[in-house]
Each structure stands twice: as structure tokens, then as C-alpha cells.
Amino acid sequence: MISLRGIEKRYEMGGEIVKALDSVDLDIGQNEYVALTGASGSGKTTLMNIIGCLDTPTAGNYQLNGRDVSSLDESSLASVRNQDIGFVFQSFHLLPRLTVVQNVMQPLVYRGIRVAQRKEMAIEALVRVGLGNRLNHLPNQLSGGQRQRVAIARAMVGSPAILLADEPTGNLDLRTTAEIMELFHSLHASGNTLVVVTHEPDIAAHCHRTLRVSEGKIAEDISRPGGSK
Ligand code: ADP
Ligand code: MG
């Protein structure tokens, strides 16, 4: 479903060229659960952003579900993102003035779904992440773990096939991290494809496949069939 060939991303900064990604070839199939590891600055976020259609490569080909998305313009990319991809960030990225349920309804606005149904879908997603009793709170009235669960509900509300998470537990304590990983585990069990950037060995141990990124390349690709606990 995800197929990258010769993907390159270069940045030019003050005359110096940085190759954030360098000829990356990568296939990720449906319902895989992949951990992305590697040192800071190795290219993990750049790779996630390209997989998630938040960014385009400077060279190479990206096929998502058989469609070439490597050279789409911004509005086509936005529509692919909205349909196919859910994103979870380390710092949650919730809208501070919107309530929990309004935050989760947000991605559905662009799908032409009526407000009553949007609300129903958002509540269902929030119940699923265990926050059915926090619908009308504001993000700053929640703990970090609860905020991340709201972000996960928002990522999943439109039933995208692919969930991408960039260091989703980087701001959370150990116990909350375990809860979030449990949630990812159940999303995977219900058929989603997950790619998670993480530094935690425990998290990588949940996954079926670990990719290590080093200096813009996939340095290691280890599969452990049935590796999920
Ligand atoms: P990671 O997520 O593994 O820490 P990144 O993908 O964020 O790494 O960054 C990879 C490399 O690309 C780094 O050297 C970083 O400085 C560079 N980089 C990332 N984004 C930009 C940008 N917008 N402009 C210039 N350089 C960038
Ligand atoms: Mg990063």
C-alpha cells in the first residue's frame, strides 16, 4: 500500500545542501505495524512527513494505494491526507479553543458530513479511546495522556487506513506511554496500518517490524513475524 522508490529529500540552507533522505526504497503493506527508530536528525520526521503526504520528495517515486502521489499539488495532497491518513504528533497539536469533541470532529468538516453525524462519529471515536466522559473539556483541562488520546481519536475518526505517529509518547510518562501503546495495539488488531517513530525499546518490541534510519537511509529493516505481544 505504501511504496517508496529512490526517495530523496534535500534542503538547501545558506548554500549548504542537506540530504535529509537519500535514495530510500521502502514497502509497507496493509496492516503492518512498523517502528521507525534512529538518532535525532537521521531523517525520521522527514520520512514520516513524506509518507503522510505532509511533504513531497525532491526526487523519487511514491505510490500510495497504487496512486502516484510524489508530485501532487498541495490541494490534492490535502485530500489524500484527509481520506487515507491519520497523524499523531509528539505535542498533540490540538486546537486550544475547541472542546475535545470539536477537535475530533475537525477532520470530518472537509468531507461534507453533516454536523450531527460528525458529532456522533467523534463521540464514538472518543468512547473508543476511553474519553467518553471528557467530551466538553478544553485541551488544557486534560492530562498529557488524555490529550494524546484525543489526538488519536481525531486521527482515527474518519477511518483512515494508515495511522502515522511521530514520537507520540515523547512527552508522556511511562504509565501513560503504556496506555497509548495499548491503544495503538488495538488499532492494529482492528486492521489499521501503523507507522510509529519511537525511541522506546518497549514500543519497538510491540511492532512486527523495525526500521532504523541513519543519515537519511534505511540502515536496518528487521521483521519479527508475530512479534506483537
Ligand atoms: P529526525 O526526525 O530523525 O530527528 P529530521 O527528519 O527532522 O530528523 O531531520 C533530518 C535532517 O534534515 C536534519 O539534518 C535536519 O536538520 C534536516 N532538516 C529537516 N527539516 C529541515 C528543513 N525544513 N530545512 C532544512 N533542514 C531540515
Ligand atoms: Mg523527528
**Domain containing residue 148: CATH number:** 3.40.50.300
Residue 229 has pLDDT above 50, yes or no: no
How many structural domains comprise the chain?
1
pLDDT tens-digit map of 11-26 = 998 899 999 999 999 9
Per-residue confidence (pLDDT) for residue 228, from 0 to 100: 47
Residue 187 forms part of a structural domain: yes
Helical pair 144-156 and 174-189, crossing angle rounded to 10 deg: 20
For residue 46, the CA-to-ligand 2 centroid distance in Å is 7
Q: 11 CB under 6 A from ligand 1?
A: yes
Mean pLDDT for 201-222 is 88
- pTM comes to 0.93
Q: 214 CB under 6 A from ligand 1?
A: no
Write the burial class of residue 85 (CB in 10 Å: 0-12 exposed, 13-18 middle, 19+ buried). buried
Residue 63 forms part of a structural domain: no
| 9 CA closest ligand 1 atom index | 12
In which band, very low, low, confident or very high, does the pLDDT at 224 lie, cut at 50, 70 and 90? confident
Closest protein CA for atom 6 of ligand 1? 43
User: Which range, of 28-37, 81-90, 92-101, 203-212, averages the lowest pLDDT?
Assistant: 203-212
Q: 52 CB under 6 A from ligand 1?
A: no
Residue 132 forms part of a structural domain: yes
Residue 219 forms part of a structural domain: yes
Q: 201 CB under 6 A from ligand 1?
A: no
Residues making up the chain, counted from first to last: 229
Domain housing 208:
29-56+81-223
DSSP letter string, 11-52: EEETTEEEEEEEEEEEEE-TT-EEEEE--TTSSHHHHHHHHT
Residue 93 forms part of a structural domain: yes
Residue 152 forms part of a structural domain: yes
